[in-house]
Amino acid sequence: MIYTITLNPTIDYIVTVPHLNLGHSHHMEEELITPGGKGIMVSRVLKALGIPSIALGFRGGFTGDFVRDYLEEMQIINQFTVIKERTRINLVLKSDQDTEISDYGPAATDEEVAVFMKCFEDISTQDFVVLSGSKLPSMPKDFYERLIRSLHEEGVPFACDITKDELRNSLQYHPLVVKPNQKEVGELFGRTFATWQEVIPYGKQLVELGAQHAIVSLGGDGALLFTPQEVIYAPPLSGEVANPVGSGDSMVAGFVGTFIRTGDPLEAFRVAVACGTATAFSPDIATADEIEVQLARVVLEKIE
């Protein structure tokens, strides 16, 4: 079984207001209310691919109930730890320019965290864990590393989509795949990149430092896959970007779900690119049909 971890889930409230004029009243043209958080997004895409998962994390209040009910309606098993404080709400305002207002999230008590940690007692080496996104603001800086170290010591395979020091610290435990974007690679190594080609030496370092595979998303320039043997480039697919939120999470789901079934990193990368592209071209997480359309268009090029 694949377990997805969303420590700090959210309700994403996405509203469209044409020609926003600050200081005036407006009527929204469209709205979309969905559960968010990177691990939840991974579970939703795995569902579209026909792959079961169990979503773990924290939820609280009426917003946490919404997350639970939405996932149950999608027939995604979720075993979130209930906390006293309310699950956060993020506002995405789509207008002439997109604006996002994000909440930091609730706090969890030591007792609530202890209940969450009990979830891992039933996870075995036959399972797989995906760790994604931000921590609760009350958690210590090394919470992810402690969790990853515990998985590694128990022999549980995992993947992670986390950033900066958390990403760096995870590499020594040999995740199946990490998936930073170009900006996050630059932040990790203290670099800025004028072209996507400049990313290549640093993507290779992610593998040299311990990752089994690394995917670096390049926005409008496509994506790169790094393995111990080669570097593969997927050029961008043409189309209109409707909503980039969740595109990276979709790539993680596509890679992990396919690699577990096939053991083939190139096929897993191909599906990852299709999933990420399909979600970027969709107002919400991509459907199975949308993924299939993009899968037929994906081209992979060996760089090294």
- Which active-site residues does the annotation give? 249
Q: Which residue from 283, 46, 21 is spatially nearest to 159, judged by alpha carbons?
A: 46
User: Sign of the CA dihedral 138, 140, 142, 148?
Assistant: negative
Pick from 157, 131, 6: nearest CA to 76: 6
Phi and psi (nearest 5°) for 160? -145, 145
| CA atoms within a 13 Å half-sphere pointing along the CA-CB vector of 8 | 20
Residue 44 C-alpha from the chain's centroid = 11
**Cα 231–160–133 angle (5° rounding)?**
125
> Which amino acid, residue 112?
E
Cα 220 from Cα 152, distance rounded (Å)? 35
User: Strand pairing partners for 129?
Assistant: 3, 158
Query: Which string of b and e fits 190-216 if b means at least 16 CB within 10 Å?
Result: eeebeebeebbebbbbbbebebbbbbb
Cα distances (Å, whole numbers) of residue 299 to 21, 41, 122: 42, 25, 40
Q: Which two tokens stand for residue 64?
A: 């946490």
Structure tokens at 213: 């595979």
Instruction: Give yes or no for a contact between 286 and 48, defined as CB atoms under 8 angstroms apart.
Output: yes
